[in-house]
Each structure stands twice: as structure tokens, then as C-alpha cells.
């Protein structure tokens, strides 16, 4: 969840009220944001506010204050307008060549006229771009923003892609002119902030570049701007260019940056359009500020919220959420004008949520829950719980271990060959999560290892899933529910584990082979050759279902090498069997 840091007093100044922390927390709670943290920085109180991931319009001071003022009824719903009056003869132009099609095809632009920044708003402007870059822009891979002092450059502008050696400019905050290749080498060696973005473009034969009519480089998307067009506190006219791989996201990002800071223009909340001329000569303008219509049925609203609001009441509630609408009495519909700042509204259900927020979630009528029906667990869980109970009744203590482990723990430590039977993780943060376990033994033995000071004997069990590769499964892998138990003492306790196996078979209604019984499974043991166990002291547990024998599990004295690998001080016997055969 994105976090916006605001100076508390500046925030309260914008809201024209000095809240107590509790009051402000309540306001956040009601609106749907969260005061996550309060810090003291340089003698000022800073509020860190958590913003929902889909509200790009709340990612800066300007957006939050604007939205809350409307919510509190202090301001009417803002109207965003296009004002091209300062463009005089013609709009600024961005001409796109076909060279960008293969590398970073989309560009949209806007102009903010007669703006005045102060230190705070300037910093807010930078911070908003950073946040957008990090979130919706997916760390600049999908979209990136460049902002420029329009008076330092001269349109028409060109969005092209050229070989890195052919791009020469003085990068932001630097003094010397370099070509793009040299720039990248410098960044790779010296700039830890920009280095993570190089990969987006460095292997392309041509790099995207924006230049003005005299060839001055404005920016090298998505890496860095040129120094000539850098914005300062004296900048009066701002040129915003947004380049992207995705048209929809480019517009959302452009709208967010332009609209948020349009409040500082001489004609507040107005944005000047830019003409985008495509490679084939066709043209369009950006930004696109027209509101979209979203039609919501009044009875749908009332049905979902359990209310009986009139059209007028719904409209009044929506105003608090920054949504203007008109009502159609005949059709019983609310037609909402979705502003360009609300890209989160996709469907009437988004409008209904806003009605509910304005009304107050905690004011909504509560229904007793619909008729209760009989619930039950699925069969595997029922069986699992019964086995857990029986294992505990047999004197074993339940452990709950992790499903992820290292390859070493799953194979080598158990003295087993690494036969690649498990699922492997692509991006583990540590070696501990290299793969999904194919046996419950590593978890149980590690639990014993962490409890060496415990009184002996240690008797542990676990009924839990292992993950196995399975080419016939839809995802290529499946879980199997296993029951495992370990007995740890100064002596091996093989007979204890054997007794446990007999007990589990009994409670599963599986009797020893040779017992005369029709239609019921019977079991017997056979010697097992398995390097996890001491040679000659391991057995396969074989159950005959309908006369067909299945090896459902195995048990034995744990091999001394295994004991050593898990750093245990005493000896163990263990059993592991597959529960699902008994479903």
C-alpha cells in the first residue's frame, strides 16, 4: 500500500482545522485511508498516510486535501477544464516517429500554464512522480514521466528512438555533454538510484529520446531528463511528457500529474492540451479530461446497501465523494460523471461503494445472517482431525512445521538422493525456501533439533501436506496429506513407533493380514531398504485394499547420519504414511 508523508500542520492548514490525532484517525477511517504512523522530523510532526492501491488521485498532498475538503463539504466537486487560450496560434506538438513503435510506443503530454511552485509544492511534485513511478508505472518499466520547463525549450517536440551513440546531451544535474552509451556506463558505476532502471532499455538497439525543434534533448525515457529543461522554483510553464508501453496507464499517469498540480496554475484546475502527431500523420490531443458516464440503477444501490434512498439523496452523497451526477427520475437511474481522476471506477459497483462510504459503513442497517445451514468439513479434513486426536491420545505431541525447506534438508540431510521430485521456487529470499517439502521428516527433525533441552522421550507427530510433482495434475503438482511421527530418546524406540503404526491402523479399521474379514483392508509389513533408516531396521507398511497391495508408508530407526545432519543429540525412530489412501 502506498504511503504519503505529509507535514501535519500543512495538512491541517489545507483542511482549515486543527484535528486531534484521534479525530484525524476517525476521519481517515471514515474515508477509507489510514494514518499509519506519526513521526517527528526536524521538529515537525509528519503524518504517514496509507492510501489504497487503486487511488492515484490521493498520492500527494494536493490530492488528499482536495478529496477530504470535498468529503467534509468545504468545497464543491472540482471541475477540471481544458484551457488552450495561452497556446495562442497553436497547441504544442509532440511528433512521434515510427522508430519508437518497437521499443516504447506510447507518448502523451500536457502543459500547465502560469504556474507558481514554492518549495513545498515543488517537492510534492517530485514525490508524486516517484510514487507513480514506483506503483502504477511498475518501476518505470511500463510508464515513465518527464517534466520540463517549457520556456527553456522550443516545440514542436519529437519522440524518436536513436542509437545510443547518436544521442548527446547534458544530463540532469551534470555539467558535461555525454552520449547515451557514456551516460549508461557512468550510471552503472556511480549512480545507485538510476542503475536499477537501465535494464529496461540498455539492450535495445535504439533508445527512446525526446528532443525539441533545435535538437535539444528533453529526456531519455525512462532513465533521466536533460539538464537544460529542468524545473526550478522559477518555472512558469510546465511541459509534461509521459512515455509508456500501455496506453491506458499512460493516460492515468498523465492525468494524475497534470490535474493534481493544475491547482497552482493562474487559471486553477485547468490544463493546456498538446497535439500528438503519430508516425502515420494522424493526430489526437492529450490529456483527455472529459468525464465518462457511469449509469447506476437506484434500486441496485438500495438493494445492495439495504436502504431506501431517493435519487436526490444518492446524488448528495456522491457529491461528498467528488462525483457529480444527474438523476433520471423515469428510469430511476443515477448518471455519474466520472472525473478523469477516478480511474478506479470501472463498474457501477464502484459508484455504489462510494455511496456507502459517504453514508457511513457503520451506519448501514445490519441484517441477521441469512438462514443458517448445516456446515461440515471436507472428508480429508475430517479424517485428518480424527487422526490428530488419535495420535495425541497415543501420547504424541503435535508439531506444525513449514512446508518450504532447502534442497539439502529435503534430500541430503535425510541421506536421500536428490531425485528432483519436489517443486522448486524461482525467487527464494533465502536458501530455506528453495523447494516444497516432499516429506514431513525435515520439519519434525528440525523441531526436535530446536527442542534439545526438552525432557526425553520426545514424541512428535504431524498430519500435514507435502507437495509432489504430478504431470497429470492441472498445475503440474499436487498436495498429499501425510501423517508422520518421530520418537526421540536415548534408545531408538523402534517398538514404540511400531506400536503407533499398529494403533493407527486399528483406528482406521485396518487389521493385520491373516485376520479373517471380508471387504475390509488388511495390512502387513515387509523389510525396506532405505538409506534414511538404519539398515535392517526399516519396514514398508503395506495395506491391501480390495486385495490390491499398496505401500502406504514406511517406518524404522533413523540412520545415524541423518541424526548427525539435523544436529540431534539422541536417537530416533520415525514413521511416515499417506493418509489419502484411507479416505
Q: Which is nearer to other proteins, 329 or 432 (CB)?
A: 432
The 10 Å CB-count burial string (b at 16+, else e) for 242-276 is bbbbbeebbbbbbbbbbbbbbbbbeeeebbbbbbb
- CA dihedral (552, 555, 561, 567) in degrees, to 10, reads 100
Alpha helices in 438-576 (DSSP H): 441-449, 494-507, 560-565
From CA 108, how far away is CA 539, in angstroms rounded?
Answer: 71
Residue 367: all three cell numbers together: 441484517
533 contact partners, CB below 8 Å, separation of at least 6: 554, 556, 557, 558, 559
Three-state secondary structure call for residue 273: coil
Residue 231: all three cell numbers together: 524545473
Q: How far is the CB of 2 from other proteins (least distance, A)?
A: 9
353's enclosing H/E stretch is helix 348-359
Q: How far is the CB of 159 from other proteins (least distance, A)?
A: 21
Nearest residue to 274 (alpha-carbon basis) of 248, 227, 316, 239? 239
Q: How far is the CB of 248 from other proteins (least distance, A)?
A: 4
Q: Which is nearer to other proteins, 179 or 302 (CB)?
A: 302
- Identify whether the C-beta of residue 511 lies closer than 8 Å to the C-beta of residue 503: no
Q: Which is nearer to other proteins, 233 or 473 (CB)?
A: 473
Q: How far is the CB of 573 from other proteins (least distance, A)?
A: 18
Q: Which is nearer to other proteins, 1 or 233 (CB)?
A: 1
Residue 230: all three cell numbers together: 529542468
Q: Which is nearer to other proteins, 273 or 354 (CB)?
A: 354
Q: How far is the CB of 454 from other proteins (least distance, A)?
A: 5
Going from the C-alpha of 517 to that of each of 90, 505, 524, 551, the distances in angstroms are 96, 15, 14, 20
Three-state secondary structure call for residue 426: coil
From CA 99, how far away is CA 101, in angstroms rounded?
Answer: 6
From CA 475, how far away is CA 128, in angstroms rounded?
Answer: 40
- Identify whether the C-beta of residue 462 lies closer than 8 Å to the C-beta of residue 443: yes
387 φ/ψ angles, rounded to the nearest 5 degrees = -70, -35
Three-state secondary structure call for residue 76: coil
Q: Which is nearer to other proteins, 192 or 400 (CB)?
A: 400
Q: How far is the CB of 93 from other proteins (least distance, A)?
A: 26
> Regarding beta strands 333-338 and 397-398, do their DSSP bridges make them parallel or antiparallel, or are they unpaired?
unpaired
Q: Which is nearer to other proteins, 171 or 348 (CB)?
A: 348
449 contact partners, CB below 8 Å, separation of at least 6: 566, 567, 568
Q: Which is nearer to other proteins, 50 or 182 (CB)?
A: 50
Q: How far is the CB of 253 from other proteins (least distance, A)?
A: 13
From CA 184, how far away is CA 384, in angstroms rounded?
Answer: 59
Look at the block and give the residue holding cell 555533454: 177
Residue 65: all three cell numbers together: 486535501
Q: Which is nearer to other proteins, 95 or 437 (CB)?
A: 437
Q: How far is the CB of 55 from other proteins (least distance, A)?
A: 7
Q: Which is nearer to other proteins, 190 or 378 (CB)?
A: 378
Please list the residues that pair with 554 across neighbouring strands: 540, 576
Q: How far is the CB of 218 from other proteins (least distance, A)?
A: 26
Q: Which is nearer to other proteins, 29 or 512 (CB)?
A: 29
Q: How far is the CB of 103 from other proteins (least distance, A)?
A: 16
Q: How far is the CB of 25 from other proteins (least distance, A)?
A: 9
158 φ/ψ angles, rounded to the nearest 5 degrees = -125, 135
Q: Which is nearer to other proteins, 160 or 462 (CB)?
A: 462
Q: How far is the CB of 82 from other proteins (least distance, A)?
A: 22
- Identify whether the C-beta of residue 412 lies closer than 8 Å to the C-beta of residue 562: no
Chain center to CA of 295: 30
- One DSSP character per residue, 317-352 reads HHHHTT-EEEEETTTTEEEEEE-TT-TT--SHHHHH
Q: Which is nearer to other proteins, 200 or 538 (CB)?
A: 200
Q: How far is the CB of 362 from other proteins (least distance, A)?
A: 6
Q: How far is the CB of 361 from other proteins (least distance, A)?
A: 4
Q: Which is nearer to other proteins, 241 or 462 (CB)?
A: 462
Amino acid at each position: 500500500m502506498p504511503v504519503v508523508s505529509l507535514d501535519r500542520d500543512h495538512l491541517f492548514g489545507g483542511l482549515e482545522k486543527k484535528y486531534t490525532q484521534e479525530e484525524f484517525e476517525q476521519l481517515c477511517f471514515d474515508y477509507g485511508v489510514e494514518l499509519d504512523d506519526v513521526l517527528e522530523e526536524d521538529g515537525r510532526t509528519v503524518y504517514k498516510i496509507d492510501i489504497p492501491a487503486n487511488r492515484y488521485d490521493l498520492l500527494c498532498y494536493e490530492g488528499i486535501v482536495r478529496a477530504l475538503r470535498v468529503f467534509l463539504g468545504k468545497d464543491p466537486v472540482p471541475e477540471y477544464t481544458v484551457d488552450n487560450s495561452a497556446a495562442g496560434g497553436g497547441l504544442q506538438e509532440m511528433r512521434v516517429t515510427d522508430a519508437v513503435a518497437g521499443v516504447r510506443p506510447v507518448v502523451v503530454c500536457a502543459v500547465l500554464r502560469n504556474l507558481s511552485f514554492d518549495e513545498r509544492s515543488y517537492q510534492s511534485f517530485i514525490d508524486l512522480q516517484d510514487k507513480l513511478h514506483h506503483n502504477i508505472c511498475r518501476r518505470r518499466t511500463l510508464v515513465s514521466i518527464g517534466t520540463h520547463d517549457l520556456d527553456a525549450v522550443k516545440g514542436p517536440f519529437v519522440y524518436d528512438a536513436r542509437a545510443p551513440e547518436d544521442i548527446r546531451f547534458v544530463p540532469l544535474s551534470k555539467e558535461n555533454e555525454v552520449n547515451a552509451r557514456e551516460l549508461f556506463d557512468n550510471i552503472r558505476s556511480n549512480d545507485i538510484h538510476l542503475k536499477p532502471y537501465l535494464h529496461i532499455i540498455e539492450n535495445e538497439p535504439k533508445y527512446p529520446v525526446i528532443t525539441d525543434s533545435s535538437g535539444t534533448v528533453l529526456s531519455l525515457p525512462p532513465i533521466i531528463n536533460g539538464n537544460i529543461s529542468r524545473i526550478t522554483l522559477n518555472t512558469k510553464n510546465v511541459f509534461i511528457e509521459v512515455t509508456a508501453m500501455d496506453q491506458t496507464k499512460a493516460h492515468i499517469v498523465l492525468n494524475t500529474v497534470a490535474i493534481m498540480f493544475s491547482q497552482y496554475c493562474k487559471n486553477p484546475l485547468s490544463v493546456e492540451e498538446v497535439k500528438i502527431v503519430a508516425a502515420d500523420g494522424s493526430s489526437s490531443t492529450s490529456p483527455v479530461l472529459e468525464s465518462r458516464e457511469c449509469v447506476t440503477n437506484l434500486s441496485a444501490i438500495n438493494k445492495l446497501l439495504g436502504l431506501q434512498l431517493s435519487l436526490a439523496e444518492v446524488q448528495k452523497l456522491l457529491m461528498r465523494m467528488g462525483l457529480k451526477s444527474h438523476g433520471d427520475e423515469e428510469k430511476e437511474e443515477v448518471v455519474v460523471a466520472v472525473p478523469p481522476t477516478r480511474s478506479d471506477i470501472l463498474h457501477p459497483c464502484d459508484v455504489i461503494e462510494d455511496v456507502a462510504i459517504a453514508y457511513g459503513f457503520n451506519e448501514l442497517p445490519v441484517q441477521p445472517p441469512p438462514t443458517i445451514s448445516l456446515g461440515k468439513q471436507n472428508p480429508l479434513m475430517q479424517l485428518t482431525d480424527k487422526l490428530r486426536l488419535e495420535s495425541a491420545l497415543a501420547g504424541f505431541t503435535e508439531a506444525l512445521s513449514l512446508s518450504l525447506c532447502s534442497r539439502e534438508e529435503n534430500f541430503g540431510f535425510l541421506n536421500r538422493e536428490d531425485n528432483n521430485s519436489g517443486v522448486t521456487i524461482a525467487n527464494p529470499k533465502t536458501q530455506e525456501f528453495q523447494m516444497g517439502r516432499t516429506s514431513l521428516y525435515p520439519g519434525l527433525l528440525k523441531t526436535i533439533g530446536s527442542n534439545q533441552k526438552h525432557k526425553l522421550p520426545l514424541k512428535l507427530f504431524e498430519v500435514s501436506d507435502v507437495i509432489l510433482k504430478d504431470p497429470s495434475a492441472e498445475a503440474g503438482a499436487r498436495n498429499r496429506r501425510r501423517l508422520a511421527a518421530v520418537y526421540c530418546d536415548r534408545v531408538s524406540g523402534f517398538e514404540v513407533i511400531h506400536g503407533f503404526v499398529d494403533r493407527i491402523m486399528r483406528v482406521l479399521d485396518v487389521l493385520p493380514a491373516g485376520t479373517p474379514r471380508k471387504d475390509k483392508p488388511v495390512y502387513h509389513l515387509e523389510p525396506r531398504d532405505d538409506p534414511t533408516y538404519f539398515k535392517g531396521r526399516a519396514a514398508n507398511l503395506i495395506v491391501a485394499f480390495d486385495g490390491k497391495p499398496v505401500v502406504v508408508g514406511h517406518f524404522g530407526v533413523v540412520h545415524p547420519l541423518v541424526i548427525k545432519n539435523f544436529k540431534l543429540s539422541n536417537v530416533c525412530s520415525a514413521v511416515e504414511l499417506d493418509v489419502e489412501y484411507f479416505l
